[in-house]
Amino acid sequence: MLIGIEASRANRLQKTGVEWYAYRLIQAMKQDPMQNQHAWIMYANDPLSMGLERLPKNWHERRLSWPPKYLWTQLRLSLEMLQKPPEVLFVPAHVLPRFAPKRSVVTIHDIGFHIHPELYKPRQVDYHEWSTRDIIRSDAKIITVSEFCKREIVESYNVSADRIFVTHLGVDHETYKPSAQASIDEMRARLQITGPYLLFVGRLETKKNILLLVEAFTRYKQAHGTLDMVQLVLAGLPGEGFEEIVKAVFASGYGECVHITGYISEKDKVALLSGALAYIQPSLYEGFGLPPLEAMACGTPVISSNAASLPEVIGEGNALFFEPTDVEALHAHIKTIVENVEVQQSLRERGLAWVPRFRWDKVARQTLQILTTW
């Protein structure tokens, strides 16, 4: 069977959630013995890089040049599908090309735009609604990343549950593991993090509920005085509402205790996770939520909202949970983590015991089964 993969997201230099999913999954599928039974084409608009270019003998690169910034999937990839379609097309993002093979598989990572449209720009809502309904109208199989997301898609779009397959995401356990103290110290010195710190990693946007995190951190600092050394690190690219987040940080009176790092390399991310007092996931909505699992793999306690898929992914009792609108509950959890060594150790142990079940080789095997069974 000839299987095509839309690899443009996986090939981006600066990756966030969807891009890392595509990259890790493709790399894991290359290693699975089951892939040897098929031929593969990787479609991208730029030369494959960062290891994607290292292809098994039955894998091939197809570069589809497209100078415009947008519509590569809908126009250029569609043209390829009309002229030289594979037997199966896999799109690990949210958008099918306008002309897709009848045997297509697409991943819908979440439908937060539908459940909480107020958290998105109107044009984002319109685009994602259009692309999702386009998928629903097609014959494509749908992969999603949690049972929570599957239920939401079924209920919101009246689609048969039989079309939807759940594959939890994986953790790269070769990368995400406790860092050596020397690596943590080097990273802290370079980023000028001078005290113990709490951490959030992800796109810095208001829909991630960063404003509530800043408010909870401010309350903690107000309660503990100027001698308290605890800091807050916000690591990630700016997103929608970033300016509002920056204003809140400086209006808090504790701006000197908050580090906004911008995009960080994966090496720095592992060191940041490993050195943190706790990783905090304050999100109003998550289709999966991989960073808390990566924190667990690095031996770091997790504080998380109980929104959407997060309890399913993190597991009952493996984190300190709070309602995503309850700033005082988050403040109380921060206080507990900072002051209670026993709680820290218990959460570390629970996290390290929980996270091994999330593996990319498992995701690859499940995805290969979906792609090759018709």
Q: Alpha carbon 37 to chain centroid distance?
A: 30
20 within 8 A of 176, measured Cβ to Cβ = no
Q: Quick one: angle between helices 327-339 and 341-354, nearest 10? A: 100
40 within 8 A of 5, measured Cβ to Cβ = yes
Residue 257: per-residue pLDDT:
96
Residue 71: per-residue pLDDT:
87
28 within 8 A of 170, measured Cβ to Cβ = yes
Q: What is the rounded distance in angstroms from the CA atom of residue 139 to the CA atom of residue 2?
A: 19
In the predicted model, what is the mean pLDDT of the chain?
A: 96
Q: Alpha carbon 113 to chain centroid distance?
A: 16
Q: Residue type for 221, please?
A: K
Residue 56: per-residue pLDDT:
97
Q: Quick one: angle between helices 360-372 and 17-31, nearest 10? A: 80
| β-sheet with 231-235: strand ranges across | 258-262, 231-235, 197-201, 278-281, 302-305, 320-322
Q: How many CA atoms lie within 13 A of 41 on its CB side?
A: 18
User: Smallest Cα–Cα separation from 234: which of 185, 174, 279, 176?
Assistant: 279
Q: What percent of the chain has pLDDT over 90?
A: 94
Q: Which residues of the chain have pLDDT under 70?
A: none
Neighbouring residues of 89: CB distance < 8 A, sequence distance ≥ 6: 3, 4, 5, 6, 81, 97, 100, 101, 103, 104, 105
Q: Alpha carbon 68 to chain centroid distance?
A: 27
Neighbours of 215 (CB within 10 A): 17
Domains and CATH numbers, the chain: 2-170+359-372 (3.40.50.2000), 181-357 (3.40.50.2000)
Q: What is the rounded distance in angstroms from the CA atom of residue 117 to the CA atom of residue 62?
A: 36
Token pair in block for residue 339? 């002051």
User: Smallest Cα–Cα separation from 96: which of 88, 17, 357, 289?
Assistant: 88
235 within 8 A of 261, measured Cβ to Cβ = yes
Residue 63: per-residue pLDDT:
96
40 within 8 A of 59, measured Cβ to Cβ = yes
What residues does 238 pair with on adjacent strands? 204
Tell me the three state secondary structure of residue 88: strand
Q: Residue type for 373, please?
A: T
Q: State the residue for tokens 């599908």.
A: 81
